[in-house]
Copies of this chain bind each other. A is one copy, B any other.
């Protein structure tokens, strides 16, 4: 068991507890009914994008693979389930031997997605697949929500680097996953040491207002920082009076001062003033970093300001208004036995209420126009049309229980940049609108 690869900066003996109670009671009932081993296909998808968003970003896939690999019921967990009477002894025995042996296909991490995109497909026995529902959805819902916000911010920031710096606004471990997802979406660095430790994301940071307040004067604080961290450091200039602070900063560090950080006020106005002042003081290479509750709109509004880097932010770790992305994990087909030759029967919920799904095991492809720009997300059941054969989106992630598609995070990050770059130009619009690609369904045997 690989406890180091769990997507957490901590040892986790198992991910099996990140599971809803009902997954286990369903297992128990299916074991008794003799239906637990029916060959089954589950798919993850969203019925819609968050309101106004133009595309989604698949993130968390690598963490899902770790979670699936480590999904085991150890003695402690089994003891807890027994003591709480969650399931019966027969089920506990089955759980003790649990190891996912099925297949997982999915959109490669960093890809974009649209309503109905089959982002992940899990195949195996009903029993082994149903148990993974909660942990897979937790990871994809959280990480994809953050990556989507990050992608919009990166788009708005253009060539200027984005620093993820608000671990403090979200759960301490969600923050680590958020840093990872932000990096996938296009962020350059993080303030979160755990994200640096676990994922190798570059970490940055220099000082806060408390450091200035600790000292007898702002000059003392700047001097202390420069003495210790060097002239190339970033001095925080908005504790008292910004103009005075900038003057002091350059006096203390000289024109080689690395950067100043502005964390409050009218950033557009202040950035212009500070740039002018720095230039007048000869600190023409000193950069300006701004960091005050930025979101993609604030970043875009600073496009013409003399800003060199953005620190974000509460709005990142909360998905900029959409902290989750409504992914669901649905049984879409199943056979009447475990026999690999038994035909798969498409299934779907049918009652009213807007929660209906489309049954059947799906493929997906992205159709492009003559210039290589994406023009439709095509989702289908049955054979893939020849003209889409080389545009298929799903790749094999787990084969017979073995993870076959681990990849470095930089590959994922680059993939996202390419995928976003291949969308129609309207994908970069921050205003609320429709998905930039329509989802077309083909060959669907609806209701069958």
Contacts and interface: CB of A to CB of B under 8 A. Distances in A.
A204 B21 contact: yes
Contacts of A81: 193
Interface string A255-270: 0000000011110000
B172 A67 contact: yes
B26 A207 contact: yes
B9 A10 contact: no
Contacts of A350: 239-241
B42 A224 contact: no
A175 interface: yes
Interface stretch (A27-35, A275-283, A368-376, A421-429): A27-35
Nearest to A334: B214
A142 B172 CA distance: 9
Contacts of A30: 211, 214, 224
Interface stretch (A103-111, A113-121, A323-331, A378-386): A323-331
Nearest to A143: B171
Contact of A22 (B86, B171, B208): B208
Nearest to A224: B33
Given A21-B203, A32-B228, A239 B351 contact: yes
A167 B138 contact: yes
A100 B51 CA distance: 45
A161 interface: no
Nearest to A212: B349
Interface in A203-260: 203-211, 213-216, 220, 223-225, 227-229, 238-242
Contacts of A355: 263-264, 292
B29 A207 contact: yes
Contacts of A329: 168
A169 to B, nearest CB: 4
Interface of A: 8-13, 15, 17-26, 28-33, 35, 38, 40, 42, 67, 77, 80-81, 84, 86, 88, 126, 130, 133-135, 137-139, 141-143, 165, 167-177, 191-194, 196-197, 203-211, 213-216, 220, 223-225, 227-229, 238-242, 263-266, 292, 314, 317-318, 323-324, 326, 329-331, 334, 336, 347-355
